Structure 1
């Protein structure tokens, strides 16, 4: 076991995955949203950095190869559970999240079943794009949670008609509600769009892995 810098970054990313959920246990919103966003973003960046460093420094190890996909999956799965819970099980988030979670479990099961032949399920460029889309979507949705909290807090108790007049520009916008509303629209629709793109890419990569594994599945089964 070699504790290289890339491996240390991978382990830190793995530890950061549950930390995203812990933010909502120890901090009130919107601070929890901001801290979760910061932790998730920094951890996601290490996914790109540790791979670059490992290749540049010739420090690719079996430990890193094993932990790297586990850390990525843990980050995505835990973050999606948090976002789904705080979204009130919104169908626009729940459906692509379900697809993503199902695929991750399914492919992990395939790799475990294939054992020594799991090398046929190598990470493809499409799978890397899938992971990138997932992480960007999750970061945007965490930002949406923070903006939504500010918008709700500053408009609390405000008459609906007055709120609409402020957004329409007919009343003075003392609290910057128009900018917050714009930020909410961008982060909500942008996050949802990216999450659905990630869901589609997830399906495509899952099908690709199943297609590659199918010949091995037909040759005979492993004991259960």
Structure 2
């Protein structure tokens, strides 16, 4: 529990309420602070896995908490972007696809774990996550950049990246489902 990678993972979970609070009123300075916190969370996401592998401290707790921390942060960001009208109209579709896939893959992983089947993260899923984080970060940044850098197309970049992430989400979700279906026998 007290290894640095696990502390970093826990810090991401504990950062979620602060992130929500920062984005709650939608002022440009609070959104800018939320963007900074989101970037810091992204850095800790990379570092916790890297350090755990490099130090040989990969733990069952870390393996369990890391994807949960990621999913909690992604869901909170999407909810707050909807709350602040950065995700509206057709942009809700890719956001919904991302949230639904996260829930479905979590359920699939739980089912397969009981069957003692591992579902490793694919390279394409890692790309999906990177593009998804860029999309969400750009949308958060777009909430404040209009005030201090009006020509920065952060929101537009975020929307395009969100659609790309949703497309990759569908592809990787289907890949995971195909693997899972092989291990599901007849009812």
Bin of the TM-score, shorter chain as denominator length: over 0.9
Which one has a bigger Cα radius of gyration?
Answer: 1
Q: Is the 8 A contact 1:141 1:187 kept in 2?
A: yes
Shift of 1:74: 0.7
For normalisation by structure 1, the TM-score amounts to: 0.78
Q: Deviations over 1:81-136 (max 9, x none)?
A: 11122126512421110100110111112222333236332111111111111111
Q: Deviations over 1:164-190 (max 9, x none)?
A: xxxxxxxxxxxxxxx51x21xx11221
Q: Is the 8 A contact 2:112 2:119 kept in 1?
A: no
* Runs of 4+ displaced beyond 4 Å: none
Alignment of 1:1-224 (within 5 A): 2-25=1-24, 29-87=27-85, 90-117=88-115, 119-148=117-146, 150=147, 180=150, 182-183=151-152, 186-217=153-184, 219-221=185-187
Change (3 A) 1:40 1:119: farther
Shift of 1:48: 0.7
- Specify every segment of 5 or more residues in structure 1 that has no aligned partner in the other structure, as ranges: 152-178
Q: CA RMSD in A?
A: 1.8
Q: Is the 8 A contact 2:78 2:95 kept in 1?
A: yes
For normalisation by structure 2, the TM-score amounts to: 0.92
Say how many residue pairs are matched.
Answer: 187
